[in-house]
Amino acid sequence: MPAKKATKKKAVKRGAKKRTAATAVKYIYDFGDKTDGNSKLRELLGGKGANLAEMARIGLPVPPGFTITTEVCTYFYDNGLKYPTTLEKELKASVAVIEKQLGKKLGAEKNPLLLSVRSGARESMPGMMDTILNLGLNDKTVKALAEESGNEAFAYDCYRRFIQMYGDVVMGVQAVNENDHCPFEAALEKLREEVGVKFDNQLTAENLKELIKRYKEIIKKRTKSAFPQDAYEQLWGSVGAVFKSWQNERAILYRQKYGIPAAWGTAVNVQAMVFGNMGEDCATGVAFTRDPANGEKVFYGEYLINAQGEDVVAGIRTPNPIAKLKEEMPNAHADLEAVRKKLEKHFKDMQDFEFTVQNNKLYMLQTRNGKRTGLAAVRIAVELVKEKLINQKTALLKIPADSISSLLVAVFDPAAEKKAKVLSTGLPAGPGAAAGKICFTAEKAEQVAASGGHAVLCRVETTPEDLRGMIAADGILTSRGGVSSHAALVARQMNKVCVCGASEVVIDYGAGTLTIGDTVLNEGDDISINGTSGDIYAGSVTTAPSEVNQVLSGKMKAKDSYTFQLFDQVMTWADKYRKLGVRTNADSPEQAANAVSFGAEGIGLCRTEHMFFEGDRITFMRQMILASDEKERRTALKKLLPFQRKDFTGLFKAMGGLPVTVRLLDPPLHEFLPHDESSKRELANSLGVDVDVISNRVHALHEANPMLGHRGCRLGISYPEITEMQARAIFEAAAACYKLKKPIKVVPEVMVPLVGFADELKNQVAVIHRVAAEVMEKKKVKFEYLVGTMIEVPRGALTADEIAETAQFFSFGTNDLTQTGLGMSRDDAGSFLGKYKELDIMPQNPFASIDAAGVGQLVEIGAAKGRKTNKGIKLGICGEHGGDPASINFFHQVGLNYVSCSPPRVPVARLAAAQAALK
């Protein structure tokens, strides 16, 4: 007991310190007539609670309620699922505020107040946690509700829904085995059959009373306790269940996927109920102020007449598109249009909101910045600027940098798509083209993806249990559910190709078939879906480059592609604000040209080793490696020289005078060696030696730990003739460019890899300078060039001041710097990184997103020390991290001059660099 007291004291003290005031911590914020929250308090109130308060504040019709803060959630988990002592008093006071505003009373037998209890974290986690509606109903209050509403069936329908939700969420009534599915649903289905109706809303009050009896029996039987009649007991039970749902399996998986810290916790929103299920002048729905799939400025959403809560998304009845509301409830529709404008004007972003109409009167139940596809993110941001709701800087910050790449995803090849027969068309919910194997289960989709295949997850509808499969699949197809269905929602968030609600598609899990008209497809068959148009095809339709790519390559005119115009607009804005340069990692003229069309301002890394694999080159390369002395080696190098020179000339031409950094030979030599018998024999023949000779030399070159072995500048130091040949090829190519009819004045940047000692660099630089002078002399041209180094081992970073005395530039090779800095092999880390992520030891893969606290320090130290002895030194980075927005933000802060990334990431890097500068 004393121990418990101590923790309580500590927690209260901690809270008090935060607010410095001596008063007790405020755990509950009201919204309604009395509103003390607002949208700035997201961390404390969660997104839903903060925005409910904000909507109430700006005069939108929000049923009154209150939010229990996320601090209570933290307290709850820190203190063995107990609440702060002052919470009960605050809760009672806040319930009283609602009671006063509405003239109702919780648990009273006259005018009973009914409540909803809802979750709401800082970031929305749709459908991941629990909601309870119609709380406060019991055997007595239900009678009052029936009388006061004059609608008995309605009252008992609310009651049975409440018992079902409460039984499920709070009392833990669950399916005991697979055939059981939800026992309440089963009872409901059985009753519908018994009385011969199709829909729940056709059940009479008497039917519902019978159902309630059966529900209570289910609870009794399964939990050994009775469904509670006391309203406050119900309320505490529900609040606790919502806090507990923060740690349910679905929520945990979701948080892992989206990097939401468990420490944030959820808030709990308690709100007076309004009823969309009271009759034909009532409805419930969800809407977006713009189309979340393509960003078009149209009112988008759906609703159901005479329905409550999740009915719209549950897919039992098919909801109507919002446009239809104009006919069915013109007043409510007009109110909604007004709300739509007001919301966008106030929140300055596309909103996704939930509403209920009770007796023709509109109530707002939730609003949030709507999740959207990458395409929609770009379009909405650009159009909001045009509409003068936001400025360019805000627009740039609103577009997740990664989403730019969804404008570059493949579409179906127009010719191939024309030829293919459209089997059916569903709702286009996630733009792009996906072709893959039909998978009916998440497990199957995961299997197909794991074995390198492409999966299209085909479900009647998806639920959060399918999340893993949706992550694994290339595309998602559902036969049921509209724009607010789970599938559509997840597709928007994950930028997945998705067609939903394709009602002609009949999926039979039992038979393992997907039928559209006469076409019967089986699991494992190919299917293709167009998430931009909603079209579905049997077989695998060939894909083509995106419109942006087509315009950039001259196959399409800019004026014919709105997508391209959007892309171009965002890139122009980004270039205006960014400070970081963006280069690309490219080894071939095609890659280079592609990257330049995406806006690359140079090559930050050309890996020469990639040039040694084609055709005859590998043979000469092998001859070089296996040479028994310098003479033999030089002979082989001589044969390689023309190839290298030609490659560099092509690259320099493609870059048209933009800087090109060429890295000298880097990888361990064994990577080039023949390992199987037949290629050993081939090589032996070409060299005119015995196979055994080859085998012995291969064996001699074997290293226990090649990543840390004879590689990088260590090769050039052992065999200066390799460096000599490469430098000669680079400089002769440069000279050739100067001599073109239209000279290209390239300034090649020669980069020495894996330097850890200043003297290593000095050794190599001497060779390079000598060769440069020879080439200039021989070719009678003068050209400029730079010599620099990769900083990719910790010692290089730590002694960067010494190295910078010789180097004209540094390029941080963050792939190797991460390997060597963490002592973690990039190729082997897969086996434990998953566990590390799960345990929060390393939430991000350090090879994808820079480990700022550790490896990042090496970059900072390297940059600072380098600049100390060489003020003007040029600093760049060329690891995978060069295309990762979070890492780019870090490199901006360190003050590097440029990042270099793979060609398709160049637009992402441009945008991320602008965002880093604007943050």
Q: Has 702 been annotated as catalytic?
A: no
- Minimum gap (Å) between residue 815 Cβ and Mg ion: 6
Q: Rank residues 114 and 662 by Cβ distance to ligand ADP and give the closer one.
A: 114
Q: Has 878 been annotated as catalytic?
A: yes
Binding status of residue 273 toward ligand ADP by CB under 6 A: yes
Cα dihedral sign, 68-368-335-201: negative
Q: Rank residues 117 and 913 by Cβ distance to ligand ADP and give the closer one.
A: 117
- In the list Mg ion, ligand ADP, none, the entry touching 118 (Cβ below 5 to 8 angstroms by class) is ligand ADP
Binding to ligand ADP (CB under 6 A) within 275-294 occurs at: 284
Q: Which residues make beta-bridge pairs with 777?
A: none
Burial class (CB in 10 A: 0-12, 13-18, 19+), 454: middle
Scanning 123-131, 329-337, 617-625, 738-746 for contacts with ligand ADP by CB under 6 A, the matching segment is 123-131
Scanning 31-39, 240-248, 269-277, 484-492 for contacts with ligand ADP by CB under 6 A, the matching segment is 269-277
Among 36, 123, 310, 337, binds ligand ADP (CB under 6 A): 310
- In the list Mg ion, ligand ADP, none, the entry touching 657 (Cβ below 5 to 8 angstroms by class) is none
Burial class (CB in 10 A: 0-12, 13-18, 19+), 433: buried
Binding to Mg ion (CB under 5 A) within 349-368 occurs at: 366
CA gap 815, 607 in Å, rounded = 14
734 and 779 Cβ atoms separated by less than 8 Å: no
Q: Rank residues 11 and 863 by Cβ distance to Mg ion and give the closer one.
A: 863
Binding status of residue 813 toward Mg ion by CB under 5 A: yes
- Minimum gap (Å) between residue 279 Cβ and ligand ADP: 15
Binding to ligand ADP (CB under 6 A) within 441-480 occurs at: none
- In the list Mg ion, ligand ADP, none, the entry touching 306 (Cβ below 5 to 8 angstroms by class) is none
- Minimum gap (Å) between residue 74 Cβ and ligand ADP: 20
Sequence-ordered alpha helix ranges (H) in 264-373: 311-314, 325-328, 330-347
681 and 691 Cβ atoms separated by less than 8 Å: yes
Query: What is the per-residue DSSP string for 240-262?
Result: HHHHHHTTSHHHHHHHHHHT--G
878, 881, 892, 901: the active-site residue: 878
Among 39, 51, 131, 887, binds ligand ADP (CB under 6 A): 131
- Indicate the helix (H) or strand (E) that contains 100: helix 87-102
118 and 52 Cβ atoms separated by less than 8 Å: no
Per-position b or e across 761-800, b if 16+ CB within 10 A of its CB: bebbbebbeebbeebbeebebebebebbbbbbbbebbbbb
Task: Report how many helices (DSSP H) and strands (DSSP E) the chain contains, helices first.
Answer: 36, 33
Cα angle 589-592-594, degrees, rounded to a multiple of 5: 110
CA gap 344, 421 in Å, rounded = 41
- In the list ligand ADP, Mg ion, none, the entry touching 284 (Cβ below 5 to 8 angstroms by class) is ligand ADP
- Minimum gap (Å) between residue 120 Cβ and ligand ADP: 7
Computed on alpha carbons and rounded to an integer, the radius of gyration of the chain in Å comes to 33
Long-range contacts of 40-43 (CB under 8 A, 24+ apart): 42/122, 43/70, 43/122, 43/264
Binding status of residue 271 toward ligand ADP by CB under 6 A: yes
- Minimum gap (Å) between residue 110 Cβ and ligand ADP: 21
CA gap 47, 359 in Å, rounded = 28
- In the list Mg ion, ligand ADP, none, the entry touching 279 (Cβ below 5 to 8 angstroms by class) is none
CA gap 432, 907 in Å, rounded = 18
Q: Rank residues 366 and 887 by Cβ distance to ligand ADP and give the closer one.
A: 366
Binding status of residue 816 toward Mg ion by CB under 5 A: yes
The residue of the chain with the least Cβ separation from ligand ADP equals 118
Backbone angles phi, psi at 423, to 5 degrees: -80, -35
- In the list Mg ion, ligand ADP, none, the entry touching 816 (Cβ below 5 to 8 angstroms by class) is Mg ion
- Minimum gap (Å) between residue 297 Cβ and ligand ADP: 24
Q: Rank residues 434 and 611 by Cβ distance to Mg ion and give the closer one.
A: 611
Among 274, 375, 544, 640, binds ligand ADP (CB under 6 A): 274
- Minimum gap (Å) between residue 40 Cβ and ligand ADP: 21
- In the list Mg ion, ligand ADP, none, the entry touching 527 (Cβ below 5 to 8 angstroms by class) is none
> What mask of x and - would describe binding to Mg ion in positions 455 to 484, judged by CB under 5 A?
------------------------------
- Minimum gap (Å) between residue 575 Cβ and Mg ion: 29
Cα angle 378-381-384, degrees, rounded to a multiple of 5: 145
- Short-list 368, 286, 277, CA closest to 320: 286
Q: Rank residues 162 and 598 by Cβ distance to ligand ADP and give the closer one.
A: 162
Scanning 80-88, 119-127, 425-433, 750-758 for contacts with ligand ADP by CB under 6 A, the matching segment is 119-127
Binding status of residue 126 toward ligand ADP by CB under 6 A: yes
* Terminal Cα-to-Cα distance of the chain (whole angstroms): 49
- Minimum gap (Å) between residue 361 Cβ and ligand ADP: 13
- Minimum gap (Å) between residue 329 Cβ and ligand ADP: 17
- Short-list 498, 504, 478, CA closest to 424: 504
CA gap 86, 93 in Å, rounded = 11
Binding status of residue 245 toward ligand ADP by CB under 6 A: no
333, 486, 881, 892: the active-site residue: 486
919 and 394 Cβ atoms separated by less than 8 Å: no
Among 106, 293, 365, 435, binds ligand ADP (CB under 6 A): 365
Distances (CA, A) of 620 to 612, 733, 840: 9, 20, 49
Binding status of residue 399 toward ligand ADP by CB under 6 A: no
- Give the interface size with Mg ion as a residue count (CB under 5 A): 4
Region at 347 (left for phi over 0; alpha for psi -120 to 50; beta for the rest): alpha
Binding status of residue 706 toward ligand ADP by CB under 6 A: no
CA gap 276, 757 in Å, rounded = 74
- Minimum gap (Å) between residue 647 Cβ and Mg ion: 20
533 and 428 Cβ atoms separated by less than 8 Å: yes
Distances (CA, A) of 696 to 104, 114, 672, 677, 817: 92, 84, 15, 13, 33
Structure tokens at 836: 């590390």
Query: What is the per-residue DSSP string for 369-404?
Result: EPP--HHHHHHHHHHHHHTTSS-HHHHHHHS-GGGG
Q: Rank residues 271 and 649 by Cβ distance to ligand ADP and give the closer one.
A: 271
Q: Rank residues 44 and 817 by Cβ distance to ligand ADP and give the closer one.
A: 44
Tallying the residues shown for the chain, one arrives at 919
> What mask of x and - would describe binding to ligand ADP in positions 61 to 100, judged by CB under 6 A?
--x-------------------------------------
- In the list ligand ADP, Mg ion, none, the entry touching 760 (Cβ below 5 to 8 angstroms by class) is none
Binding to ligand ADP (CB under 6 A) within 196-215 occurs at: none
Q: Rank residues 51 and 424 by Cβ distance to Mg ion and give the closer one.
A: 51
Scanning 124-132, 375-383, 519-527, 635-643 for contacts with ligand ADP by CB under 6 A, the matching segment is 124-132
Dihedral of the alpha carbons of 29, 34, 38, 42, in degrees to the nearest 10: 20
Scanning 265-273, 383-391, 491-499, 749-757 for contacts with ligand ADP by CB under 6 A, the matching segment is 265-273
Binding status of residue 720 toward ligand ADP by CB under 6 A: no
Among 127, 240, 524, 657, binds ligand ADP (CB under 6 A): 127
121 and 265 Cβ atoms separated by less than 8 Å: yes
Residues of the shown chain interacting with ligand ADP in the complex, contacts defined by CB under 6 A: 63, 116, 118-119, 126-127, 131, 133, 271-274, 284, 309-310, 354, 356, 365-366
Residues with catalytic roles: 486, 878
Residues of the shown chain interacting with Mg ion in the complex, contacts defined by CB under 5 A: 366, 792, 813, 816
